[in-house]
Structure 1
Amino acid sequence: MSSGSYAVSGATQLLNFGSFTSGNTQFSLPIRVDALGRVEVAEVAVQSIARNEDDQAVMRYVEAATANATRKAYQGDLRDFLAWGGLIPSTPEVLAAYVAARSQLHAPATILRRMIGIGRAHTSLGFPDPAKADLVRTVLRGCRRLHGKPQRQAAPLLRQDLFPILEQMSGMRGLRDRALLLLGFAAALRRSELVGLDVEHLEFVPEGLLVHLLRSKTDQSGCGRKIAVPFGRTAACPVKAVSNWMAAAGIGCGPLFRSVSKAGAVSARRLSDQSVALIVKRNVNVIGLPKVAYSGHSLRSGLVTCAAQLGVGLMKIQEQTGHRSLNMLSRYVRDANVFENNAAGCVL
């Protein structure tokens, strides 16, 4: 176990004994003060610092308030800053020096995310956020101008590429991959949403299939939403693909998409997020597409791109994808229609 230490003033009494405190909500890390008055942040699970049932109840809800991935990212940001030699609280001058040093190693987007994590470390302990200082923001702008590059986007898996892929599939793995690719495409699901589906989340109706999505990246509160997946007009029908996979694998409850051995044995183990990316990459490679350009997100972006090319309205696409705003969705639509009524094409 490693720990980071940093100086603190006026907060030692509040943070003594590594107890859970209201000032340590984002990191969920035990905090203690050493003999020199420095605060130590130990990398252990939040449950290890629960002293009674009341603590455990509060911590359970604190953990639920922040996604695990977000909490881990904040912890990693703080660890990197401390490993570089930073202290909490930090001055804007020190944080600006950290940005300048790390800009030689990381993309501006990574640096910006770390500023958020380090800022949260300050505000969680009651200190002002040095990342908001004009000096730090100016250095960040300079970093983006000197080292900025376009964000890499996964290539969309288009309908005309998906169909040839489906023709190459066989066996139990083929049935699973067919169902996974078609449902992920038709419902525009993120990979975490796709592998998180249970049979109980599916409702077969006369029009096709209703997917009851209980939680998603943009719905951490679990309000949930329904996604309609109609019967396909071609042999590539997502509803039939899911039904055939469930019947062949004998799945009546629990995880929908599970690991399958080379011999075709279906386990009870749910696929991981990364499995979706690997399945997409493996199958696009079969038809000669560069697998490095594709990821699990290619299914979601593929549906948006194809729908935009066919003239489907933004509101109907948003209804399928669940985007909270049209800004991100508009980027996909612009990419899909760059040649439509193109100014150069109309003139030359």
Structure 2
Amino acid sequence: MPDSTPIAEPTGVAVPWTPPALTEAQIAEIQALAAKADQLAEASLSANTRVAYGKAWRGWSEWCLGYGLDPTGLDQAAAADAHWLVLHLTALAETRSLSTILLRRAAVVSIRRRLKRPLHLDDAEFQAFLKGLRRRKGTRPTRKAALLEENLRAATLVLRPDGTGSRSAGAGEGALGDLRTLRDRSLLLTGFAGGFRRSELVAFDLRDATLSAEGLVLFVAGSKADQERRGEEVGIRAAPGSLICAVTALRAWLEARGDEPGALFCRLDRGGHRVRGSDGRLQPMDPATVARLVKRVIGRTGAEIETFSAHSLRAGMMTAADRKGISLEDAMRHGRWKSVSSARIYRRHSSLWQGNFTEALLRDE
């Protein structure tokens, strides 16, 4: 349990001094570097990681400039060194999580290395800092709830393909309301059945989907676990007659969507019309829209929306597989997990009851 133990102060840190003032030209150059920081991250990192690194670097830059320091280390007379990074992270610790602190450290260290001005961190010093931070904040991760079959069945009742299930549908809007409803229902069921990340769902192109007698095959061109973009096929079997059959839902969506080239789950404007780019192709949804969609639909079923996110679809697939006795190996292969330890995290509450003997322990004989 977190306690009030103070975070360990970095040893040997001098009292903040007043460095030589930076010129306006130097400040402008530093700020320009900060604005382009996400481009300095390694190309092998995912797009989301590059964005996170860019944000972390800009925060570090603004903090350093507030003390008259050069965050890049290019100006040796006013360079921010490793001790200043620890002080920056200490300041962040008041309001940020442990995972954010670690990401900020990784971002600054990585970008300074690419600028050929590495920070020479004392690992022992930093580990002492982390130990104090863990004692202060605790290390229990915050995870969103898994979205399960019962949630999806409830969602199908509020996503009826007659216009009444769409928030935007109204008088005279039946066809447009149907379009949004069919897309949203198909996206949710496909995301659950395939254990897809939201970035993968919005990246699917029409040509990535192939329907057959057995079901649906989706080609994942690249993902968090496939940074080299080798690509991988994921199969989803049809479950005729089931309210949550992803294949049935996708067939209905494709019939309404049409065969125009572009995103499989295309973006719709406020009026429910398909959005096309300058090249005429249907445009993809924003990943944040998937998260809002999950919360909106789940909220309409009466569930607590704050416990769910877009990642609840992926967590739900793994949890549901565990409840139905699917082996961890088969579930990992389907969901494209590479690490057993990471996959086990997703075997949420169902694993608590497998082999649980407490009922026998407490039952009256």
**Same fold flag (TM > 0.5):** yes
Q: Is the alpha carbon distance of 1:176 and 1:110 closer, same or farther for their aligned partners in structure 2, counting shifts above 3 Å?
A: same
Unpaired runs of at least 5, structure 1: 1-6, 8-32, 47-58
Q: Is 2:59 aligned against 1:80? A: yes
Q: Which of 307, 321, 324 matches 2:338?
A: 324
Q: Is 2:323 aligned against 1:305? A: no
State the distance in 2 between where 1:68 and 1:229 align: 27
Q: Is the alpha carbon distance of 1:263 and 1:34 closer, same or farther for their aligned partners in structure 2, counting shifts above 3 Å?
A: closer
Q: Which of 201, 204, 209 matches 2:211?
A: 204
Deviations 1:67-126, CA, capped at 9 Å, x for gaps: 333223223222222322354354443332222222112112111111101111332233
* Helix, strand or coil at the partner of 2:182: helix
State the distance in 1 between where 2:289 and 2:89 align: 34
Q: Is 2:115 aligned against 1:125? A: yes
Deviation at 1:239, TM superposition (A): 1.0
State the distance in 2 between where 1:105 and 1:228 align: 43
Contact persistence 1:165–1:284 (CA under 8 A): yes
Percent of paired sites with the same residue: 28
Query: Matches of residues 59-70 of structure 1 in structure 2 within 5 Å?
Result: 64-70=43-49
Aligned position for 1:182:
189
Query: Matches of residues 34-73 of structure 1 in structure 2 within 5 Å?
Result: 40=30, 42=32, 43-44=34-35, 64-73=43-52
Q: Is the alpha carbon distance of 1:122 and 1:310 closer, same or farther for their aligned partners in structure 2, counting shifts above 3 Å?
A: same
Contact persistence 1:181–1:280 (CA under 8 A): yes
State the distance in 1 between where 2:207 and 2:311 align: 24
Q: Select between 62-71 and 174-183 the one with higher mean Cα deviation.
A: 62-71
Contact persistence 1:165–1:283 (CA under 8 A): yes
Aligned position for 1:260:
268
Q: Which of 224, 247, 253 matches 1:245?
A: 253
Q: Select between 256-265 and 33-42 the one with higher mean Cα deviation.
A: 33-42
State the distance in 1 between where 2:337 and 2:299 align: 29
Which structure shows the bigger proportion of residues in strand conformation? Answer: 1
State the distance in 1 between where 2:154 and 2:127 align: 49
Contact persistence 2:36–2:54 (CA under 8 A): no
Unpaired runs of at least 5, structure 2: 1-18, 74-78, 161-177, 276-281
Q: Is 2:358 aligned against 1:344? A: yes
Given residue 199 of structure 1, which amino acid in structure 2 is its aligned partner?
Answer: L
State the distance in 2 between where 1:174 and 1:37 align: 51
Given residue 263 of structure 2, which amino acid in structure 1 is its aligned partner?
Answer: P
Q: Is the alpha carbon distance of 1:36 and 1:318 closer, same or farther for their aligned partners in structure 2, counting shifts above 3 Å?
A: closer
* Helix, strand or coil at the partner of 2:347: helix
Deviations 1:173-223, CA, capped at 9 Å, x for gaps: 221111111111111100010011111001112211111111111111111
State the distance in 2 between where 1:318 and 1:36 align: 51
State the distance in 2 between where 1:107 and 1:219 align: 27
Deviation at 1:253, TM superposition (A): 2.6
Aligned position for 1:19:
none
State the distance in 1 between where 2:157 and 2:353 align: 30
Q: Is the alpha carbon distance of 1:82 and 1:160 closer, same or farther for their aligned partners in structure 2, counting shifts above 3 Å?
A: same
State the distance in 1 between where 2:308 and 2:56 align: 28
Q: Is the alpha carbon distance of 1:286 and 1:333 closer, same or farther for their aligned partners in structure 2, counting shifts above 3 Å?
A: same
Q: Select between 134-143 and 305-314 the one with higher mean Cα deviation.
A: 134-143
Contact persistence 1:131–1:137 (CA under 8 A): no
TM-score, structure 2 length as denominator? Answer: 0.76
Deviation at 1:264, TM superposition (A): 4.2
Q: Is the alpha carbon distance of 1:44 and 1:314 closer, same or farther for their aligned partners in structure 2, counting shifts above 3 Å?
A: same
State the distance in 2 between where 1:252 and 1:91 align: 54
Deviation at 1:39, TM superposition (A): 6.9
Deviations 1:122-173, CA, capped at 9 Å, x for gaps: 3223344334532122112211111235222111111012112102213222
* Helix, strand or coil at the partner of 1:130: coil
Contact persistence 2:46–2:224 (CA under 8 A): no
State the distance in 2 between where 1:119 and 1:347 align: 52
Contact persistence 1:95–1:130 (CA under 8 A): no
Contact persistence 1:92–1:136 (CA under 8 A): no
Q: Which of 150, 153, 166 matches 1:163?
A: 153
State the distance in 2 between where 1:196 and 1:121 align: 28
Contact persistence 2:156–2:243 (CA under 8 A): no
* Helix, strand or coil at the partner of 2:353: coil
